[in-house]
């Protein structure tokens, strides 16, 4: 049993420089994450895994611009550039990320009708990914968060983990943000406000 786990969120080619939805300096998290891994017996990675034509893609909505907002049945949704399409090079993990020690890879965003930022729930905030049950079965009580992007998938994962009762540490230099219209400051305030420890 492991009471602590490392979560490596969406360190994929499309979120790194040159990718379809590149996070500035995104690949800089990789050596930091790799160096941390030996401290954790349990390591888990998440992978954005969208079908072609996913409803969160701007290209799926006629005339919609990337990064515009739309109302979906589950609430407001950013329309993203097409990214992390299943089986594509962009959806693959960055080749320099050490994954051989990962016990579990959680794929998310594969339901065409709903996006999924969090490692725990789809964006309707109720449909689970299965990660919670796995962590409980492993005896995990504390999570260390790393990856991309701080203000979206890392943020939602960290906040959900706290709501589920896990202790959460965010390693700031092992994450990078999109920072769209102040989204990073908002994300940091929300995470700290719900008890995420930032180091």
What amino acid positions are annotated as catalytic residues? 10, 108, 153
CA gap 194, 187 in Å, rounded: 11
Query: Hey, how many other C-beta atoms are within 10 angstroms of the C-beta on 39?
Result: 10
What is the Rg, in whole angstroms, of the alpha carbon atoms belonging to the chain?
A: 16
CA gap 130, 150 in Å, rounded: 22
Helix, coil or strand: residue 198: strand
Specify whether the CB–CB gap between 55 and 112 falls below 8 A.
yes
């Amino acid at each position: 049993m492991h009471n602590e786990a490392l979560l490596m969120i969406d360190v994929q080619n499309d979120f790194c420089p040159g990718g379809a939805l590149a996070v500035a300096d995104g690949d800089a998290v990789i050596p930091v994450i790799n160096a941390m891994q030996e401290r954790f017996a349990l390591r888990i990675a998440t992978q954005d895994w969208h079908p072609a034509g996913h409803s969160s893609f701007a290209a799926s909505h006629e005339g919609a611009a990337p990064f515009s907002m739309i109302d979906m049945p589950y609430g407001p949704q950013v329309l993203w550039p097409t990214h992390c399409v299943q089986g594509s090079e962009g959806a693959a993990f960055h080749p320099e990320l050490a994954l051989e020690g990962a016990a579990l890879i959680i794929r998310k965003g594969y339901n065409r009708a709903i996006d999924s930022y969090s490692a725990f729930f789809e964006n309707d905030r109720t449909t689970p990914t299965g990660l919670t049950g796995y962590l409980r079965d492993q005896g995990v009580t504390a999570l260390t968060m790393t990856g991309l992007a701080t203000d979206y998938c890392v943020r939602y994962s960290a906040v959900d983990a706290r709501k589920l009762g896990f202790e959460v540490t965010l390693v700031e230099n092992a994450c990078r943000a999109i920072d769209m219209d102040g989204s990073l400051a908002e994300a940091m305030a929300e995470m700290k406000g719900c008890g995420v420890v930032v180091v």
